[in-house]
Amino acid sequence: MKLSARGAMASRPWLILLLGLAGVLKVPGQRSPDSTGFVSIDCGLPPEQGGYLDAATKLPYVPDGAFTDAGANHNISAEYITPSLSRRYLNVRSFPSSPRSCYTLPSTVARGSKYLLRATFIYGNYDGLNKPPVFDLHLGVNFWQTVNITSPGAAQIAEVVAIVPDESVQVCLVDTGSGTPFISGLDLRPLRDTLYPQANATQALVLVDRNNFGVNGLSSLIRYPDDPYDRVWIPWSDPDKWSEIATTEKIQDLADPRFQAPQAVMQTAIAARNGSASPGTIELWWDVVPSRVYPGVPGCVSIFYFAELQAVSGGALRQFDMAINGTLWSKAPYTPRHLASDGFFNGEPHRGFTRFNFTLNATAKSTLPPTINAAEFFSVVSIADVATDAKDVAAIAAIKAKYQVKKTNWAGDPCSPKALAWDGLNCSYAISMPPRITRLNMSLGGLSGDMSSYFGNLKVIKYLDLSYNNLTGSIPNVLSELPFLVMLDLTGNQLNGSIPSGLMKRIQDGSLTLRYGKNSNLCNNGTSCQPTKKKSSSMLAVYIAVPIVAVVVAGALAALLLIARKRQGSGKGSVKPQNEASASQNGDGQHSLLQLENRRFTYRELEAMTSNFQRVLGRGGFGSVYDGFLPDGTQVAVKLRSQSSSQGVREFLTEAQTLTKIHHKNLVSMVGYCKDGECMALVYEHMSEGNLEDKLRGKDHNAGSLTWRQRLRIALESAKGLEYLHKACSPAFVHRDVKTSNILLNANLEAKVADFGLLKAFSQDGDTHVSTARLVGTHGYLAPEYAAALQLTVKSDVYSFGIVLLEVITGQTPILQCPDPTNIIQWARQRLARGNIEDVVDVRMQGEYDVNGVWKAADVALKCTVQAPTQRPTMTDVVMQLQECLELEEQHHL
């Protein structure tokens, strides 16, 4: 005998008959459907027709309108309708205009419960195209299986056993370009949580086959209520090869709560017919085919159910071995128990096969042939991808509903999977963390009505663009409480009232850029929206970099300027500097690159150095940094620019050129670089202790907390690096992105300032500052005059260094959540004003410091961060002061 099932989706043309016949199956006593937690949906059923009881199971089926907001209803073509066809196949819902369309089903039991989900399909030429489609099914954000409709009249079933972590679960149909997705029916069935232990938080079981052996004849299809979970057991026998065994006696249920087959299923079995040599062998096999998502061979889980149905007396013995592809699966010869269920299963998925060939082979001692009562066969899929943060989902869903957003891909999870993220949304993705919405662009979206307060629930949003809509009413102040919001664009609406005070404050402290031009009723009597007011309709776009990505996308104007410069300057593919600074000020870019030539690596050399980019040391806006070794064994760090990097060729070149010119023991030095076709990489000395930020935040798990003396030394050394940049070079360099994550530490905890991609040179003679066309740097570290007016001086670095120093003292982040976002300067100032240094000092130093030294350092930090740039000390002053702090600390320990 053989059983065949293809892939995760078994295509069984004969199934239509089975399910079609469901209407004439015996219907044992009814149960109250309310207590089952079942959800049974007839997809495409017009709401006005209402629900009905399914003829076979007496389960109530309902129309699908309450579960989805997309798609259209169709009837299948008359030629595929037979009298016995289950009613839910008569109509379908199809989703022609969207890459992903979803049903949202309630998790009817509790969060974290286990369910069986079943989707059913009969194409029935509903669209008159006679072209059965192929599309994907997703369970939430994870691939479930591909639905390949091979025959227009055949019923196809997709079934998965999975844990649903949330209050609801989405079943999504994903258009893969091979026809319009459609669906006939959708069932949700709660399972006892102990069942199917192979289905866990990260792994789901996709049904390949579920067989009830020893029954022939389609009328014996077993499902609800015989199976309380409404699993469908497909009868199978082959009288030519196998004898059928049956009993009417009760079979004792399996003691093991992990497996349970219904009585009616266990009461029948097949046995091998006596062969010539031995009492026989049962052979069963299933095929699986790789899917698009699992191009390797999927793992498989099988469950075999046994019970001895015959009285085995005297010297008779039924005993057999089980093997997969000839490898013994059962540890010892197996004898089924009389009238008692038993289960055989694999906990870890079998892998590495496309055909799973099981043999049940009688042992030499056995007088009776092997038997089997039932089997289930599943392939496993990963459900490890996590859905977007639930609060973000709730907020964006409310926004979508309020403005009746009609964008076709606004379906399913907003951020996940990445390839299907909603238009106009950007998200942050971190491994095993829910994605978060970081950018929302609804410009020109036809939004009308007032501004939804739900915008204020997108707690980590950085960019919110609502320009050119018909928004009315006032600007909600809750937006000022979004700690990471750096850009709010409300240009071109009908907003009225004034700018809320909270937003005003954010604008003043430089942490937010607001654009509100072309709102004729907005009384902008505030004074601080200068950037917008002056330049609102001129094109100056100000973008502020965000903490994770150190570097910022150039604004529209900056990009335009660049293109203009590029035209004047260099041709395509040229490595000539395109940076405003280097192009305008020294013109020696060519020269620097020549100097670089002798330390140039090829991409192949980089591959060899990094063993194929195996170990990632860190990631930034530029791409990833990899661990590597030079041929002579020197350890290095290789910063490889990723294709998708927002940091451009320009930053790459700036940094490469700068590093050839500047050499200081407190600046990270470059070993070489690669510019080889698309490959761009910088090779640095290896800084084994990582960056100061991780050290301070304790991200570096094996590190104890830094002592005050270590902290001071690191601060002093970084200050010296910056002083060198400001003083020793002509023209002076402004680093522009001084922050703890750009201060690297070597094995001796010596500090070196890194990341010169944003470095900018300007002549100090005459000009007191340069105005730059775009704002770069990192939120939380930006000097106010730079953030507000793009006025850049070396004092901007002093300000940022002040923040670094405060972090070193307090161990806090530049923006604290306590619970409202607070700037570290305010936080420290307020506490220090009370005269108590203990209030601000990092508790991880456990009081081990010279109080006078800490006061002095705090004082330096506060001076560095005063509003007026001219009142800030120079880095030379800072170095002197920190030197004194260190001396105080060293005396303290004498």
Ligand X SMILES: *[C@@H]1O[C@H](CO)[C@@H](O)[C@H](O)[C@H]1NC(C)=O
Interface with ligand X (CB under 6 A): 73-75, 134, 148, 150, 178, 200-203, 243, 271, 274, 278-279, 283, 285, 323, 325-326, 348, 352-353, 355, 357, 359, 361, 363-364, 446, 448, 470, 498, 523, 525
Nearest approach in angstroms of CB 274 to ligand X is 4
**Residue 534, class by beta-carbon neighbours within 10 Å (0-12 exposed, 13-18 middle, 19+ buried)?**
exposed
Question: What is the rounded CA–CA span in Å between residue 534 and residue 856?
Answer: 41
Q: Which residues pair with 169 in a beta bridge?
A: 105
| Selected catalytic residue, list 413, 737, 755, 842 | 737
- Closer to ligand X at the Cβ: 366 or 647? 366
Query: How near is the Cβ of 438 to ligand X at its closest, in Å?
Result: 27
Binding residues: 639
Residue 398: in which H helix or E strand, if any?
helix 390-402
Q: Which is nearer to ligand X, 40 or 493 (CB)?
A: 493
- Least distance (Å) between residue 203 CB and ligand X: 4
Q: What's at 448, amino acid-wise?
A: S
Shortest spacing between CB 381 and ligand X, in angstroms: 11
Distance CA 197, CA 205 (A): 10
Q: Which is nearer to ligand X, 278 or 570 (CB)?
A: 278
Q: Which is nearer to ligand X, 503 or 550 (CB)?
A: 503
- Nearest approach in angstroms of CB 83 to ligand X is 14
CB 715 within 8 A of CB 874: no
**In whole angstroms, what is the distance from residue 251 CA to residue 782 CA?**
75
Of 30 and 448, the one with the shorter C-beta distance to ligand X is 448
Binding residue positions for ATP: 639
Find the helix or strand (DSSP H, E) in which 714 lies: helix 708-723
CB neighbour list of residue 76: distance below 8 Å, 6 or more residues apart? 89, 90, 91, 92, 122, 123, 124, 125, 126
The CA–CA distances, whole Å, from 28 to 33, 224, 229 equal: 14, 9, 15
Q: Give the Cα-Cα-Cα angle 410, 414, 418 (nearest 5 degrees).
A: 110
List of residues 6+ apart from 673 with CB closer than 8 A: 596, 599, 600, 601, 656, 680, 681, 682, 683
Give the list of residues 6+ apart from residue 437 with CB closer than 8 angstroms, or none: 388, 389, 392, 395, 396, 414, 415, 425, 426, 427, 458, 460, 461
Task: Report which DSSP code applies to 739.
Answer: -
Q: Where are the alpha helices (DSSP H) in 598-645?
A: 603-609
Nearer to ligand X, 432 or 748 (CB): 432
Nearer to ligand X, 205 or 640 (CB): 205
Q: In this complex, which beta carbon is closest to ligand X, that of residue 406 or of residue 567?
A: 406
d(CA 44, CA 41): 9
Give CA–CA dist 823/828, Å, rounded.
9
* Closest among 401, 422, 397 to 410, alpha carbons compared: 422
Residue 615 burial (10 A CB sphere; 0-12, 13-18, 19+): exposed
Q: Output 2 or 604, the one with its CB closest to ligand X.
A: 2
- As measured in angstroms, the least distance from the Cβ of 384 to ligand X is 8
Whole-number minimum distance, CB 504 to ligand X, in Å?
8
> Rounded to the nearest whole angstrom, what is the least distance from the CB of residue 800 to ligand X in the complex?
32
Burial (CB < 10 A; 0-12, 13-18, 19+), residue 377, is buried
CB-wise, 201 or 556, nearer to ligand X?
201
Q: Are 696 and 740 in contact (CB under 8 A)?
A: yes
> How does DSSP classify residue 728?
I
Closest contact distance (angstroms) between CB of 284 and ligand X is: 9
CA pair distance 648, 637, nearest whole angstrom: 20
Cis upstream peptide for 731 (omega within 30°): yes
**DSSP letters spanning 633-695:** S-EEEEEEE-TT-SS-HHHHHHHHHHHHH---TTBPPEEEEEEETTEEEEEEE--TT-BHHHH
Q: Tell me whether residue 34 is one of the annotated catalytic residues.
A: no
In angstroms, give the least distance from the CB of 202 to ligand X.
4
Do strands 463-465 and 433-441 pair parallel, antiparallel, or not at all (unpaired)? Answer: parallel
CB 677 within 8 A of CB 603: yes
Find residue 525's DSSP bridge partners: none
Between 259 and 673, whose beta carbon lies closer to ligand X?
A: 259
Q: Six-digit token pair at 356?
A: 């799973």
Query: How many angstroms separate the CA atoms of 794 and 875, rounded?
Result: 9
Whole-angstrom distance, CA of residue 311 vs CA of residue 126: 54
CB-side neighbour CA atoms (13 Å) of 181: 27
- Give Cβ neighbours of residue 406 (< 8 Å, ≥ 6 apart): none
Using CA atoms, how far apart are residues 799 and 377, in angstroms rounded to an integer?
65
What does the chain come to in residues? 894
Residue nearer to ligand X on the CB measure, 498 or 595:
498
**Residue 349 near residue 253 (C-beta atoms within 8 A):** no
Catalytic residues: 737
